[in-house]
């Protein structure tokens, strides 16, 4: 008889974990989500970009191990490509040379390697670059836009075709271990599970405490984003904006990404928050407008729309994936920070393999498990 696995959290982490767990014929998987819709909080508000040179080393390994899924997803899971070419320009002013050199050195492990450009060369690629205020530029050519909705839907399709089930509007209030099982108490009634997978994002420690498991110290942080019209970049020919690279400051304190005939902007804020349905703050938007206008050719005067989401980090900013040492049937899949989309295929696979204690394939064996497992906090 198949063992029952309950995955808590319907965002990208929970959907990917549930999908790959469902590939194991020994498991029957149920995905539970407290909201009416999956991906309601952070996943559905992401400006996802696949960037190799981003995050701590273990995260970068998961990013690389995710590429094959994005580039060639299993048959029947997607209706169109998940990745679309979008280079990244990391730009710095005269006071940011040290940070720039560190990023450029780290980017040599990317494929193709990151390379330095002159500000004038960068301005040809993206007319938002201002050569007068830009001192340093590097480009990562091997970067891509990610279709977030299609990626999440691919995992949902995988789960469903493997006879997995989804329960929305179902909040986990408590979970009690009984012998080798869990009695999961939800607002929709009790569920008996052999494994409980915690993919609850900002609510990860809340779910752990409800199950009597020691928290790992997760910190949700608010990230603000807003849209501006193409007119914010005067005299630019927007007909080719789909080809322009994304702009990111080397200090990661703002970014601008072309999005159709508009631009998605962010102050790249990381304001500590309680788990909640995050909302944007006008002060954060104003700060972003000020710094983007100062260091680029953008002249942002108004905002079309704005939103916020929570990115959740463990204390060392590396993910927490795998069994808890106090109860090996409680599985973590949290702490993705700002890399949850780009790492989701590998993180989901790793969660599934660590749950079933299977040998890791070569690409996942490159991930430093000591930097991933919850054991490091115990």
Q: 73-94 pLDDT, tens per residue?
A: 999 999 999 999 999 999 999 9
Q: What angle do CA 168, 188, 160 make, to 5 degrees?
A: 40
Give 87-142+221-309's CATH code, choosing from 3.30.9.10, 3.30.1360.70, 3.30.70.20, 3.65.10.10: 3.30.9.10
CB 78 within 8 A of CB 235: no
**pLDDT given for residue 1 in this prediction:** 80
CB 24 within 8 A of CB 353: no
Segment 34-64, tens digit of pLDDT: 999 998 766 656 778 999 989 999 999 999 9
**pLDDT given for residue 48 in this prediction:** 85
Q: Where are the alpha helices (DSSP H) in the chain?
A: 12-22, 57-71, 97-106, 119-125, 148-161, 204-210, 282-295, 344-356, 362-365
**pLDDT given for residue 43 in this prediction:** 64
Q: What angle do CA 184, 354, 11 make, to 5 degrees?
A: 55
- Whether the ω angle into residue 112 lies within 30 degrees of 0, i.e. cis, is yes
**pLDDT given for residue 373 in this prediction:** 98
Find all residues with CB under 8 Å of 46, minimum gap 6, and list them: 12, 148, 309, 340, 341
**pLDDT given for residue 47 in this prediction:** 72
pTM of the predicted model as reported, rounded to 2 decimal places = 0.96
Query: Which CATH number is 3-75+147-218+316-377 given?
Result: 3.50.50.60
**pLDDT given for residue 42 in this prediction:** 66
**pLDDT given for residue 60 in this prediction:** 95
**pLDDT given for residue 45 in this prediction:** 64
Residue ranges of domains in the chain: 3-75+147-218+316-377, 87-142+221-309
List the beta bridge partners of residue 247.
89, 256
Q: What angle do CA 306, 207, 225 make, to 5 degrees?
A: 10
**pLDDT given for residue 133 in this prediction:** 97
Which parts of the chain register pLDDT below 50? none
CA distance 226 to 341: 19
252: left (phi over 0), alpha (psi -120 to 50) or beta: left
């Amino acid at each position: 008889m198949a063992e029952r696995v309950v995955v808590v959290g319907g965002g990208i982490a929970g959907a990917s974990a549930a999908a790959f767990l469902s590939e194991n014929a020994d498991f029957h998987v149920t995905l539970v989500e407290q909201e009416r819709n999956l991906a309601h909080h952070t996943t559905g508000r992401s400006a996802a970009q696949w960037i190799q040179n981003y995050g701590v080393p273990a995260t970068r390994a998961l990013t690389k191990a995710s590429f094959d899924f994005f580039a060639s997803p299993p048959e029947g899971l997607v209706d169109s490509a998940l990745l679309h070419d979008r280079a990244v320009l990391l730009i710095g002013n005269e006071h940011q040379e040290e940070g720039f050199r560190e990023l450029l050195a780290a980017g040599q492990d990317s494929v193709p390697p990151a390379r330095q450009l002159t500000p004038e060369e960068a301005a040809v690629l993206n007319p938002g670059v201002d050569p007068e205020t830009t001192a340093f530029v590097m480009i990562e050519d091997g970067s891509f836009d990610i279709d977030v909705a299609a990626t999440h839907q691919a995992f949902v399709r995988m789960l469903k075709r493997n006879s997995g089930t989804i329960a929305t509007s179902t909040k986990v209030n408590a979970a009690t271990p009984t012998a080798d099982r869990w009695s999961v108490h939800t607002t929709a009634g009790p569920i008996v599970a052999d494994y409980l997978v915690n993919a609850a994002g900002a609510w990860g420690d809340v779910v752990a405490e409800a199950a009597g498991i020691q928290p790992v110290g997760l910190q949700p942080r608010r990230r603000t984003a807003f849209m501006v019209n193409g007119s914010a970049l005067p005299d630019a020919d927007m007909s080719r904006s789909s080809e322009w690279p994304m702009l990111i400051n080397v200090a990661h304190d703002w970014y601008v990404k072309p999005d159709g005939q508009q631009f998605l902007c962010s102050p790249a804020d990381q304001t500590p928050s309680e788990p909640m349905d995050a909302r944007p703050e006008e002060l954060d938007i104003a700060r972003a407008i000020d710094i983007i206008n100062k260091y680029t050719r953008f002249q942002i005067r108004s905002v079309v729309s704005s939103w916020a989401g929570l990115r959740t980090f463990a204390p060392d900013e590396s993910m927490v994936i795998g069994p808890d040492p106090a109860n090996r049937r409680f599985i973590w899949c949290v702490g993705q920070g700002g890399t949850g989309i780009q790492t989701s295929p590998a993180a989901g696979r790793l969660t599934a393999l660590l749950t079933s204690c299977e040998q890791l394939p070569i690409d996942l064996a490159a991930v430093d498990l000591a930097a991933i497992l919850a054991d490091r906090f115990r």
